[in-house]
């Protein structure tokens, strides 16, 4: 037969194969796809109507590709038999390997011996024999599944984990892999039997089902296990149920719901616990919710909606039966609020915000849950608008502010806050910069503000009678700032030395006792506010009078991102008035010395500190220091906070050290250690929190074992020890508890800078 005739015959046979596999001609036109056959040689038996292709055979049809050493196709039975180094790639990119396979229905159905499947994510399935249905379902008998990589040097070595089952069903329509009578093996050892088990198809990102449980033990809860269940209720919303079963405190159900729509989203979660308090807990607590013995719960909601490109609506709810509940029980998801921050106060808020290039406006309302609930305010509403123009021809800018506040509470505090207060405030100002021919920089600022107050139930002093009153004031302020940066560019470094000074003047007084102080209870002099004309971060107190500020900022920049920054400054009172609170670091004559330091000796180490020194003996009264490590062999942070007793509310010295360090990975292993320690030893708890974690991670399994020790005492909270075990099996699902390594939080001192000079 000539080559031309052979080619025509092959084309006719292949096209006949594609058409013969459809029941009717009309129905097949939409789904019919071109077929392709390639091989070294082809034989055709007219008697049996069988085409046999030999040598590097490739057949493509319906986005599927079949490769084998030998392929025969019987037109009478519509049966394809492939022998020798057979592999089949389906539409999803899964590969099927076998020494022999018999396929029908356009290679969609068939029987397979010694089947092996390589899935799209490199997971592997294998079985003694298998059956394929409509190219969408594969059944394996005596099957094994594992996403772990096989060691090429030791292929006989067992993987980290695998599932062995009498029957494995991979249903691509249901997007699930099912196992009947399965064993979970770890390094070849059977550790857990399951009569039935299923997990999502590895190609699926979201699928309903149980997630991996979390095991823990503590003296308070006893043995506990959290068994989360994930429900993909829709394409844009889902639920996660994560009840915790404890041997000492019963069952603590909890759930989370997430919903995302075109212009916004919301997340809500809650939990409930019954009869969980210790018998030794006090009969009452400062939250005024009574003794927490029954019906303990929490409910959080976080939502946002982008009404327009520049208008954002938010609504957040944080409520709990009592504040120690969130600290004691693991009921908050990992991405939620730090439980130790939530144990101080819970904030519910509704807001509408508008963002523009030159302005910002907002309307907000707040409801707080905190200690001494009767004195906590309800803010309804707070309206704020700020405008700042773009720089003009000379660099000048103009600004305007408006603020309205209405709040009320059950009980006032004498000399501090009122039962009800309404406040309106309007301010306008501007600034103009100037750079002289010598290179020094000047900035002139001016600002004037007027405030009106109406208060009810407020006692300025203990002898005064509560009554309704109106108060008003105006606050003009002007300042002139000078800076002169000197640059010395050397081969080894660039050195920028910048002396700076500022003089500010305003009206005397204005902080009358008849005006409540809602938003500025504490002010402390530091590197961030020393060069601010108005160091009060709120409105109720003003930074009046006359003062002079000087400072020196030195920045030395070396190669490889190394640097050495040093700042030193002080504020001098020109009017001999006590404007800031007594415990602010400034008296009627001058402030204490303010210093800031940043040292980066290596690219992986960042040391920072800011301190407040007594101006008479230079002793340290406030110090906030931190060290950050970011190296291949270790990452971590260390922070220390020191406050002299005259700067604290309870007149007690505070010295706390907090640090978290994680080692780099070595053969998949890493170790993490975190601690918060009270450095004041006189009758106080030494270790507040301590966490040690050992982790191992490879391509298919993440293991975490954590030991947690707490030393807090607060109502029904007692010092406790806890062990948490978490296993994250690839493709079987996982669930992360609260981030136990960052309990308590840390604060990093900012880089000293004199350029922060906004009103």
Element (H or E) spanning 657, and its range? strand 654-663
Question: Where does 119-235 show beta strands of DSSP type E?
Answer: 124-133, 137-146, 161-171, 176-186, 189-200, 209-210, 214-218, 222-226, 229-234
Q: How far apart are CA 527 and CA 695, in angstroms?
A: 39
pLDDT band at 280 (very low <50, low <70, confident <90, very high): very low
Among 18-32, 144-158, 261-275, 599-613, top mean pLDDT goes to 599-613
pLDDT at residue 744 above 50? no
pLDDT band at 682 (very low <50, low <70, confident <90, very high): low
Among 150-164, 229-243, 426-440, top mean pLDDT goes to 426-440
- When pLDDT is averaged across residues 459-473 and rounded to a whole number, the result is 88
pLDDT band at 341 (very low <50, low <70, confident <90, very high): low
Helices and strands (H and E) in the chain: how many: 4, 43
Tokens of 623: 């110090």
- When pLDDT is averaged across residues 434-443 and rounded to a whole number, the result is 94
pLDDT band at 651 (very low <50, low <70, confident <90, very high): confident
Tell me whether the omega of the peptide bond preceding residue 548 falls within 30 degrees of 0, making it cis: no
pLDDT at residue 279 above 80? no
486-524 pLDDT, tens digit per residue, is 999 988 899 999 999 999 999 998 888 899 999 988 889
Q: How far apart are CA 230 and CA 336, in angstroms?
A: 18
For the residues of 556-618, what is the DSSP string, one character each? EEESTT-EEEEEEEEEEESS----S-GGGSB-SSBBPEEEEEEEEEETTEEEEEEEEE-TTT-
Among 8-22, 159-173, 355-369, top mean pLDDT goes to 355-369
Per the model's pLDDT, the better-predicted residue between 212 and 404 turns out to be 404
Which residue's entry shows tokens 């390594």?
A: 741
* Residue 336, pLDDT score: 62
Residue 431's Cβ-count burial label (10 Å; 0-12, 13-18, 19+) is buried
pLDDT band at 647 (very low <50, low <70, confident <90, very high): confident
pLDDT band at 293 (very low <50, low <70, confident <90, very high): low
602-634 pLDDT, tens digit per residue, is 999 999 999 999 999 999 999 999 999 999 999
**Among 578-592, 594-608, 736-750, which is the least confidently predicted range?**
736-750
Q: How far apart are CA 109 and CA 310, in angstroms?
A: 56
**Among 369-378, 448-457, 492-501, which is the least confidently predicted range?**
369-378
A 10 A CB-CB count for 475 gives 20
| Pairing label, strands 311-320, 634-643 | unpaired
pLDDT at residue 74 above 50? yes
Q: How far apart are CA 286 and CA 375, in angstroms?
A: 11
Q: How far apart are CA 183 and CA 189, in angstroms?
A: 9
- Residue 388's DSSP bridge partners are 399
Pick from 449, 404, 403, 402: which is nearest to 429 by CA? 449
Q: How far apart are CA 433 and CA 445, in angstroms?
A: 9
Contact, 596 vs 565, CB < 8 A? yes
Among 148-162, 225-239, 335-349, 437-451, top mean pLDDT goes to 437-451
* Residue 13, pLDDT score: 41
* Residue 290, pLDDT score: 42
* Residue 390, pLDDT score: 92
* Residue 154, pLDDT score: 78
pLDDT at residue 478 above 70? yes
* Residue 342, pLDDT score: 57
Per the model's pLDDT, the better-predicted residue between 277 and 308 turns out to be 308
Q: How far apart are CA 306 and CA 313, in angstroms?
A: 6
Q: How far apart are CA 655 and CA 677, in angstroms?
A: 9
pLDDT at residue 671 above 90? yes
pLDDT at residue 291 above 60? no
What mean pLDDT value characterizes the chain?
84
pLDDT at residue 7 above 90? no
Q: Which DSSP letter does residue 374 get? A: G
* Residue 1, pLDDT score: 40
Question: Where does 698-754 show beta strands of DSSP type E?
Answer: 701-710, 720-729
pLDDT at residue 310 above 90? yes
What number of CA atoms fall less than 13 Å from residue 303's CA on the CB side? 19
| Pairing label, strands 244-246, 237-241 | unpaired
**Among 213-227, 292-306, 679-693, which is the least confidently predicted range?**
679-693
Tokens of 384: 């704020």
pLDDT band at 333 (very low <50, low <70, confident <90, very high): confident
pLDDT at residue 299 above 70? yes
* Residue 685, pLDDT score: 62
* Residue 756, pLDDT score: 32
151-199 pLDDT, tens digit per residue, is 777 777 888 899 999 999 988 888 888 999 999 998 889 988 989 988 8
């Amino acid at each position: 037969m000539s080559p031309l005739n052979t080619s025509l015959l092959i084309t006719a046979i292949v096209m006949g194969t594609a058409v013969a596999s459809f029941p009717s001609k009309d129905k097949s036109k939409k789904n019919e796809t071109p077929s392709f056959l390639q091989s070294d040689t082809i034989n055709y038996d007219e008697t049996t109507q069988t085409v046999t292709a030999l040598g590097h055979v490739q057949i493509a049809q319906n986005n599927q590709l079949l490769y084998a050493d030998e392929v025969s196709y019987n037109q009478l039975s519509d049966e394809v038999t492939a022998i020798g180094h057979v592999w089949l790639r389906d539409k999803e990119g899964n590969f099927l390997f076998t020494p022999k396979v018999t396929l029908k229905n356009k290679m969609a159905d068939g029987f397979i011996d010694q089947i092996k499947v390589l899935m799209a994510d490199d997971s592997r399935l294998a079985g003694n024999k298998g059956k394929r249905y409509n190219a969408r379902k594969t059944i394996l008998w005596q099957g094994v599944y594992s996403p772990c990589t096989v060691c090429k040097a030791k292929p006989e070595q067992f993987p980290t984990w695998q599932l062995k089952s009498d029957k494995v069903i991979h249903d691509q329509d249901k997007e699930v892999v099912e196992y009947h009578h399965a064993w979970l093996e770890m390094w070849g050892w059977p550790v857990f039997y399951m009569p039935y088990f299923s997990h999502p198809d590895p190609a699926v990102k979201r699928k309903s089902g149980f997630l991996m449980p979390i095991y823990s033990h503590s003296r308070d809860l006893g043995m506990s296990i959290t068994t989360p269940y994930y429900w993909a209720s829709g394409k844009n919303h889902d639920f996660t149920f994560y009840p915790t079963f404890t041997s000492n405190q019963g069952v603590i159900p909890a759930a989370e719901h997430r919903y995302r729509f075109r212009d916004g989203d919301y997340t809500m979660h809650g939990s409930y616990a019954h009869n969980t308090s210790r018998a030794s807990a006090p009969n009452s607590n400062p939250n005024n919710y009574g003794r927490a013995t029954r019906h303990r719960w929490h409910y959080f909601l976080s939502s946002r909606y982008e009404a327009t490109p520049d208008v954002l609506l938010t609504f957040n709810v944080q409520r709990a039966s009592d504040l120690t509940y969130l600290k004691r029980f693991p009921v908050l998801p990992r991405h939620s609020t730090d439980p130790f921050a939530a144990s101080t106060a819970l904030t519910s808020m509704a807001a509408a915000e508008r963002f523009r290039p030159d302005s910002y406006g907002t309307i907000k309302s707040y409801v707080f849950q905190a200690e001494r609930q009767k004195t906590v305010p309800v803010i309804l509403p707070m309206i704020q608008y700020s405008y700042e123009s773009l720089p003009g021809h000379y660099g000048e800018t103009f600004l305007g502010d408006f603020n309205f506040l209405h709040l009320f509470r059950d009980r006032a505090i004498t000399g501090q806050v009122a039962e009800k207060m309404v406040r309106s405030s309007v301010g306008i100002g501007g600034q103009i910069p100037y750079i002289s021919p010598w290179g020094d920089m000047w900035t002139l600022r001016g600002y004037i503000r007027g405030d009106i107050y109406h208060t009810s139930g407020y006692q300025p002093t203990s002898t005064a009678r509560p009554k309704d009153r109106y108060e008003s004031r105006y606050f003009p302020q002007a300042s002139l700032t000078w800076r002169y940066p000197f640059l010395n560019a050397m081969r080894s470094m660039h050195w920028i030395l910048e002396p700076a000074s500022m003089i500010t003047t305003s009206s005397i007084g204005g902080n009358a006792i008849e005006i409540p102080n809602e938003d500025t209870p504490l002010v402390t002099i530091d590197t961030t506010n020393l060069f601010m004309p108005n160091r009060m971060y709120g409105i109720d107190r003003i930074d009046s009078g006359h003062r002079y500020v000087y400072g020196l900022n030195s920045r030395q920049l070396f190669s490889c991102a190394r640097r050495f920054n040093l700042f030193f400054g002080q504020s001098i009172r020109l009017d001999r008035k006590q404007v800031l609170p007594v415990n602010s670091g400034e008296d009627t004559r001058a402030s204490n010395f303010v210093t800031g330091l940043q040292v980066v000796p290596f690219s992986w180490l960042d040391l920072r500190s800011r301190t407040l020194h007594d101006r008479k003996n230079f002793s340290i009264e406030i110090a906030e220091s931190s060290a950050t490590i970011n190296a291949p062999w270790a990452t971590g942070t260390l922070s220390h906070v020191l406050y002299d007793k005259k700067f604290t509310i309870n007149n007690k010295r505070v010295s706390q050290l907090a640090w978290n360090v994680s080692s780099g990975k070595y053969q998949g292993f890493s170790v993490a250690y975190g601690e918060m320690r009270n450095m004041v030893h006189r009758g106080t708890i030494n270790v507040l929190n301590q966490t040690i974690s050992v982790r191992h991670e490879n391509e298919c399994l993440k293991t975490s074992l954590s030991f947690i020790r707490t030393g807090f005492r607060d109502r029904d909270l007692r010092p406790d020890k806890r062990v948490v075990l978490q296993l994250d099996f690839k493709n079987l699902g996982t669930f992360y508890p609260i981030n136990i390594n960052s309990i308590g939080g840390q604060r990093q001192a900012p880089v000293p800078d004199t350029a922060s000079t906004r009103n």
